[in-house]
Structure 1
Amino acid sequence: MQKLQCLSPIDGSVYVERPLATGYEIQNALSSAQGAQQGWSRVPVAERVALVRAAVNGLQQKKAELAEEICWQMGRPIAYAAGEIDGLAERALYMAELAEREDGPLSDIYPAEIPGFKRFIRREPLGTAFVIAPWNYPYLTAINAIVPALLAGNSVLLKHSAQTPLCAERLVEAFAEVGLPEGVFQYLHLGHRDAEQIIINSGVQHVAFTGSVAGGAAVEAAAAGRFLSVGLELGGKDPAYVRADADLDHAVASTVDGAFFNSGQSCCGIERIYVHESLFDTFVKRASALIREYRLGRPDDPATTLGPLVRASSADFVRDQIDEAVQQGAMAHIDGGDFSLDRRGSAYMAPQLLTNVHHDMRVMSEESFGPVVGVMPVADDAEAVTLMNDSEYGLTAVIHSADAEAALALGEQLQTGTVFLNRCDYLDPSLAWTGVKKSGRGCTLSGIGFEHLTRPKSFHFKLQC
């Protein structure tokens, strides 16, 4: 029997081991999802909302336990891990509130009245949604697709990362405990091939994938010819621009946190910073000093502020980017020797800030997904916009400025899904979460996110013949 193993980045030990689903179990889960969805779609929205709220409450009650599991599965410092459950609650409860509004994204749409006719558009669920979730924010990324899919009347089949299998189990358990009908929400522990076969051969009607560009391409290939609804949240190389009029202390604190929180393992983390030349030297000095304050250590130690990457190979990938950049002339401002656990072949990696960088370096063009950021001076807004757009990705972009109107004008020129002013690395559930270029397609969150989980059905009744 094939097994899934989660090796904890804390010490390399086997933290979770589970058998992969058999072919019979996969078919049984799909059949159950398809059968349960028909009844679930007829459950009033208010009852669906109540179940979502109850499940979220149950997850919040177990926040400490879930935080410890997050820490051991993917390495986030225990001091921050519980915050993910708070974020899950914020998003899920907002989507529940949207769903029950009389004028919300699940309500019927009525055009102008015509005497003798009744006309309206009803939003119907797609069927079964197949959610493929990543390890870096295992609850937040999953809930973006799971909750609106359930609220819209779809059944959900969840495949979580092999690094975070307990998150799938805990989510399904939470909904089962509050009385969600059997078959409406299930998980399967799967290998990549079986996940692809579900998309190719099964009766799922929507695929929500969060992961790498290569993984997204595999999903699209598997879905080709099936005319599925597909949502892809892929990679990022997100930029920040610090204008000459920025509050420098705030800009330093915000961009450093945006670059190094979660050890840089965020699709919308800051990976490139462009600073107006009048502020550049001071920015680099203050940012470097702040980065040196991070404490690299075991994430189960409450004093740790920078945990390991998810695995040693991921850390070595980032180290290779840094070493190559330095060989090409980049200047490293952080001495790795100040962080005792940092060594090649280890998941524990010191943070790094680089200057004298340019876009021919991999560290400025290729997604790092680790604790490194490159910083470049720019002469003006035009140069900043050109450099920010010089990427194959487009998930978020950050501007630090005291001038909101100038920031809006710049934001309209940026090729990105979200533009932030004076903040970064945050998903507001009332706003659409989407990307352009290789950062993906489709949308989650906000009322617009529900449109990707429903289909419009028009009713045109002539009342008298």
Structure 2
Amino acid sequence: MNQAVTPNVRTGKITAAPNPATGALLGEVPNTPEEDYASIFNQARRAQKIWAQKSFAQRHKHLIKMRNHIRDNADDLARLISDSNGKTRMDALITEVLPCQLACDWYGKNAAKVLAPERRGPSSLLWVGKRSEVRHEPLGVVGIISPWNYPLSIPFGEILMGLMAGNAIVLKVAAATPLVGKAIEEIIAAGELPDGLFSHIVGSGGRVSTAMFENGIDKLFFTGSVPTGKQLMAQAAETLTPVSLELGGKDPMIVLKDADLERAANGAAWAGYQNAGQSCGGVERIYVHESVYDRFVTLLADRTRALRHGVPNDECSVDIGSMTTASQRLTVEKQLAEAVASGATIVAQSEGPGHGDGHFHPATLVTDVDHAMTLMREETFGPIMPVMPFRTEDEAVELANDSPMALTASIWTRDTRHGKQLANRIKGGVVAINDHLYTHAMSDVPWGGPGESGIGRTHGPEGLMEMTKPKVVNWDWLKAKRNLWWYPQDRSSYNAIRNALYLVAPRSPFDFLRAAVKVLPVMIRKMYF
């Protein structure tokens, strides 16, 4: 997720939050005094010890209260997110508010099953008396640094996973959306958690991340740009602090010759232009079979021109709002200009809102592109969709995989079975068939990708596991006086261990029986007499 420099103005100890679509000041949030950082982390550790003793059912009751608060304040939350980020009210409701309510239910109901202790029997005859239990213990204090493109749903899902796993949470939201951070505080307050279990720090991202490491957080969850993720990983290495990083996406969409082109064009418009293209899991590259290329481009061009572009409002009379930051808009403009200078063609654009103070960029469909262009290689994170034709599926796979980022991808075909087979060849944490940009809202499946798309996973059982550390409890029900390999050692013990190799890997059944005859008497004599 390309998290560029934010437009917020810091004056003294205040963070100001302007509306990116209008330039109007939404409000100001006091920065957390740095001298309070240490006490915040200390209080979190004390509260976590109490919280970890609660059952999953008890923790779930707190999430129900949060869920109900979200439900009862959905319109206000959608409006605040829209005003803070620039996305439309509908975008805010469907991609942020609703997923948070769904997440409260799923994590609350499923954490106990996912994180239940697991009994494991002996893996070999050599360990016949041993039994093990794998327990998933809380990490302790978890740090979360979240971005401005989904300022509610990204951090809130991680907060819920951390809480249900028994952790305390210290959150740092993006400087561009501090008021959404305050809204998260209100949701958490409705959950009536123990004092200090959750804290939200407002301030410099670099200073807060340093404080997290200095105060010994047990894991950092970061969502943002690839360069910043690498910096945080290097910083975490100094204290061997584990990290989970959800970073960039340059996600491909492959349209096969048998695809439903109407659905594909509609899906591309949504997944490429939604949130003004500021989605790490959105469509950033489209590859279309040459036999249907012209028809697809015509359909997508029509949908691009038809989009209503303007300042988001309660009447939901626009389809695309503004971008969130001026610097990100400039990045998009630069990539587009470079591509056009190199021969790319702008086929269609949405009609913008005209002059104003907002960070608007029209939805733009581009053809005549190639992989030498920055537009096709680096994350754009804006409402630009470049389209290329391909001849063979092998060529499409090669083009789709030609990126260090592999967060998501999609394949469009009427043959679902073939789509699933082709998905095996596509790099990506998520490969969808005939859809794109929605699985982040599904609490039951993992989110994340390999390469420069990050490390680790959030969401689903895998996300809950990321919030824990495994502990093995092992015991022996045979109750022997000593193990065969304990002191004093002698030749008979050595020979018994040597013959045990044939118990594990016998050449034949007779080989196994002969080894057993040689091992068992020595084991009994050495262990019990």
So what's the TM-score if we normalise by structure 2? 0.84
1:443 aligns with 2:423: no
For 1:357, the equivalent position in structure 2 comes to: 369
1:358-394 Cα deviation digits (max 9, x unpaired): 0111111111111111000000110100000011210
Which of 185, 199, 203 aligns to 2:216? It is 203
Structure 1's unaligned 5+ residue stretches are none
For 2:37, the equivalent position in structure 1 comes to: 26
For 1:40, the equivalent position in structure 2 comes to: 51
- % same residue: 32
For 2:89, the equivalent position in structure 1 comes to: 78
User: Aligned runs of 1:11-410 on 2, under 5 Å?
Assistant: 11-83=22-94, 84-100=96-112, 104-112=113-121, 119-300=132-313, 302-335=316-349, 338-341=351-354, 347-410=359-422
CA gap 1:3/1:454 in 2 versus in 1, 3 angstroms: same
* Partner Cα separation in structure 2 for residue 340 and residue 162 of structure 1: 26
Answer yes or no: is the 8 Å Cα contact 1:270–1:373 preserved in 2: yes
SS across alignment from 2:28? strand
- Please tell me the root mean square deviation across aligned C-alpha atoms, in Å: 1.8
Moved more, 444-453 or 388-397: 444-453
Deviation at 1:269, TM superposition (A): 0.5
Deviation at 1:340, TM superposition (A): 4.3
| Amino acid paired to 1:261 | Q
The structure whose Rg is larger is: 2
Deviation at 1:457, TM superposition (A): 1.0
Deviation at 1:405, TM superposition (A): 2.5
Deviation at 1:281, TM superposition (A): 0.2
1:251-273 Cα deviation digits (max 9, x unpaired): 11111110001110101010100
Answer yes or no: is the 8 Å Cα contact 1:342–1:349 preserved in 2: no
Deviation at 1:346, TM superposition (A): 5.0
Deviation at 1:77, TM superposition (A): 1.2
Deviation at 1:444, TM superposition (A): 0.7
Answer yes or no: is the 8 Å Cα contact 2:121–2:131 preserved in 1: no
SS across alignment from 1:110? strand
SS across alignment from 2:114? coil
Deviation at 1:118, TM superposition (A): 5.3
| Amino acid paired to 1:433 | W
So what's the TM-score if we normalise by structure 1? 0.95
SS across alignment from 2:119? coil
* Partner Cα separation in structure 2 for residue 156 and residue 138 of structure 1: 16
SS across alignment from 1:375? strand
* Partner Cα separation in structure 2 for residue 335 and residue 445 of structure 1: 35
Moved more, 241-250 or 13-22: 13-22
* Partner Cα separation in structure 2 for residue 414 and residue 144 of structure 1: 27
* Partner Cα separation in structure 2 for residue 66 and residue 234 of structure 1: 26
Structure 2's unaligned 5+ residue stretches are 1-11, 481-529
How many residues in Structure 1 have an aligned counterpart in Structure 2? 460
Deviation at 1:92, TM superposition (A): 2.9
